[in-house]
Amino acid sequence: MTRGATLAAIVAVLVAPAFRPAIAGLKPHATFVEPTASGQTRAEMQRIPQFENERAVSWKSVIPPHTESTLDRHDRRRVVIGIVGGDLKIVTAAGEATVTHYETGKAYWQEPMPPGAMHKDVNDTDKMIELIVVEMK
């Protein structure tokens, strides 16, 4: 099954009954933008809305090399699909870090975070990472 077919199958099962093409209220991840040695700014992480309905909300996360998000949390179950895989470091508010390897074309199930827990995503590699997130409501 191709990446597109895998994603289409997941979306069809989760959200097809009430599809809306855009998410009006989805806020992008804030990022830290630092100047490079040449004085130019680095690319920022992007959260690009895909759809929202009464069952789920979805976005595409584009995570350039050497970027990080602000602290956030996920209170709902979600599926994360590696469009352009890579190693993404997850850092808790207490500074504990783990690396999650997202394989291109593979889907991953993630449970809600524990109450009060916060994390940020850090791509400290030299490669772009792109993920599709489908979060259940």
> Which position has the token pair 């870090």?
97
Question: Is the pTM of the predicted complex or chain greater than 0.85?
Answer: no
Domain assignment present for 59: yes
Domain assignment present for 35: no
**How many domains does one find in the chain?**
1
Query: Mapped to the 3 state alphabet, what secondary structure does 21-83 carry?
Result: CCCCCCCCCCECCCECCCCCECCCCEEEEEEECCCEEEEEEEECCCEEECCECCCCCEEEEEE
Q: What is the pLDDT of residue 21?
A: 40
Stretch 23-37: mean pLDDT: 47
Tell which residue, 44, 54, 58, 31, has the closest CA to residue 120.
31
Report yes or no: 110 and 43 within 8 Å, Cβ to Cβ: no
Confidence of residue 93 (pLDDT cuts 50, 70, 90): very high
Mean pLDDT across the chain, nearest whole number? 82
Domain assignment present for 93: yes
CA quadruple 21, 45, 84, 74: dihedral sign? negative
Confidence of residue 43 (pLDDT cuts 50, 70, 90): confident
Stretch 22-49: mean pLDDT: 61
Domain assignment present for 27: no
Domain assignment present for 90: yes
Tell which residue, 49, 116, 124, 128, has the closest CA to residue 82.
128
The model's pLDDT over 54-91, given as tens digits with 9 standing for 90+, comes to 999 999 999 999 999 999 999 999 999 999 999 999 99
Domain assignment present for 106: yes
| CA within 13 Å, CB half, 107 | 17
For residue 30, pLDDT over 50 is answered with no
Q: Which domain holds residue 126?
A: 3-21+45-136
